[in-house]
Structure formats: C-alpha cells, structure tokens
C-alpha cells in the first residue's frame, strides 16, 4: 500500500487544486444561472469521480479498493445525471449535491482511517470528509437557501476541501521523501 500511495500523491494534489479553482469560481460568480451552477457542479463531481477512478487503479490489489470504487462511481454517476438533465429543479439539484457530499465524505473518512498507519497527519483527509458531510447536511437542513447562498456555500466547501486534499498530497509526498532519504543513504524502492 505504501508503494501505491507514493505513486499517487500527485492525484491528491490535482484533486485539491481542481476543488480550489472550482471554489474560487463559485465565490467570484455567485449570480450564475441555475443551469450554469448545475453544469459547474456536475463537471466538478464528474472530474472528482474520474480522479477517484485513477486513484483506484493505482491501488490495484488493495483490500479496500471498493471504497474508492464507490466514491468514484457516485461522483461520475451524479455528474453525468446532472449533465443529462440540467433542467431539474433547484431542490432536486440541492439534494443531489447533498447526497454526493455526504457519500463522498463518508468514503474520505474511511480512507483517512486506513491511511493513519501509513502517513502522518491523515487527519486532513478525515477533516475533508467531515467538511463534505457537514456541507451535505447543511443543504438538507436549509433547502430554502437561494442560488447565491448555495454558490457561496459550495465555493467555501470546495476551497476547504481543496486545501485539505492538497495537504494530504503534500503529506504523502513528505512520507515518500522521508523513506527515500531515511534508509542508510539508499533510497527505498517505491
């Protein structure tokens, strides 16, 4: 598993950077129409799901591959559903978004729990998962929020999530680097 993580640190970084960029767009352009907000969120879910699939393929043979598989499947599936039916109502969109955030957050926390024996500061990934769940629950509890407030909430969530994903990538890279320089001057095979 350590070998697979060493090769995948950049995927965590890319996922985080994509989330950060999405979050900035959502905060800067809060007056986006419902259709464009749905398309942006669908693109984010789809791209995040694709990156989760790439991570899944880098973990072949892992006994916990199914968590990444379901996270990827949910992201790609919900992203495609929103692309195919952009005219759905705001409430339906909000519940799609809440469901995706909660399911994705659960799988991020499960991954963080598994990584606690492999890397230090795995809490960042767990906190990213928790922020996903809190975001999803907030949408369900306050469905009357307007498009602007939803855009701002989505943007803030994506920025927090992105920062925590980048942090996870940096931590994985740091562990890889420590392993390379820590063994009597001989790098470990990664």
pLDDT in tens, 83-117: 887 766 567 777 888 899 999 999 989 988 888 88
pLDDT at 190 over 60: no
pLDDT band at residue 3 under the 50/70/90 scheme: low
pLDDT value of residue 12: 85
C-alpha span between 70 and 86 (Å, rounded): 23
State the pTM of this model: 0.53
C-alpha span between 89 and 38 (Å, rounded): 10
pLDDT in tens, 125-153: 889 899 999 989 988 887 766 567 777 88
C-alpha span between 9 and 15 (Å, rounded): 10
75 near 100, Cβ under 8 Å? yes
C-alpha span between 8 and 172 (Å, rounded): 8
pLDDT at 25 over 80: yes
49 near 73, Cβ under 8 Å? yes
C-alpha span between 36 and 174 (Å, rounded): 38
Rounded mean pLDDT of 55-80?
Answer: 79
151 near 30, Cβ under 8 Å? yes
Rounded mean pLDDT of 57-64?
Answer: 70
C-alpha span between 71 and 48 (Å, rounded): 9
What does 68-79 look like in DSSP terms, one character per residue? HHHHHHHHHHHH
pLDDT band at residue 2 under the 50/70/90 scheme: low
C-alpha span between 61 and 84 (Å, rounded): 34
Lowest mean pLDDT among 11-25, 62-76, 122-136, 150-164: 62-76
pLDDT value of residue 184: 46
C-alpha span between 29 and 151 (Å, rounded): 8
Residue 154's CB is within 10 A of a number of other CB atoms, namely 24
């Amino acid at each position: 598993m350590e070998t697979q993580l060493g090769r995948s640190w950049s995927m965590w970084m890319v996922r985080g950077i994509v989330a950060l960029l999405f979050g900035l767009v959502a905060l800067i352009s809060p007056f986006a129409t419902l259709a464009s907000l749905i398309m942006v969120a669908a693109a984010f879910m789809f791209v995040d799901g694709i990156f989760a699939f790439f991570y899944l393929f880098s973990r072949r043979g892992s006994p916990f591959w199914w968590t990444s598989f379901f996270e990827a499947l949910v992201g790609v599936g919900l992203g495609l559903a929103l692309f195919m039916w952009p005219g759905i109502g705001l409430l339906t969109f909000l519940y799609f978004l809440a469901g995706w955030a909660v399911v994705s957050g659960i799988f991020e926390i499960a991954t963080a729990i598994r990584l606690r024996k492999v890397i230090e500061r795995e809490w960042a990934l767990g906190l990213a998962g928790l922020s996903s769940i809190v975001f999803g629950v907030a949408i369900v509890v306050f469905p009357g929020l307007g498009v602007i407030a939803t855009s701002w909430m989505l943007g803030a969530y994506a920025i927090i999530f992105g920062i925590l994903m980048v942090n996870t990538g940096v931590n994985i890279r740091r562990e890889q680097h420590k392993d390379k320089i820590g063994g009597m001057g001989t790098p470990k095979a990664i």
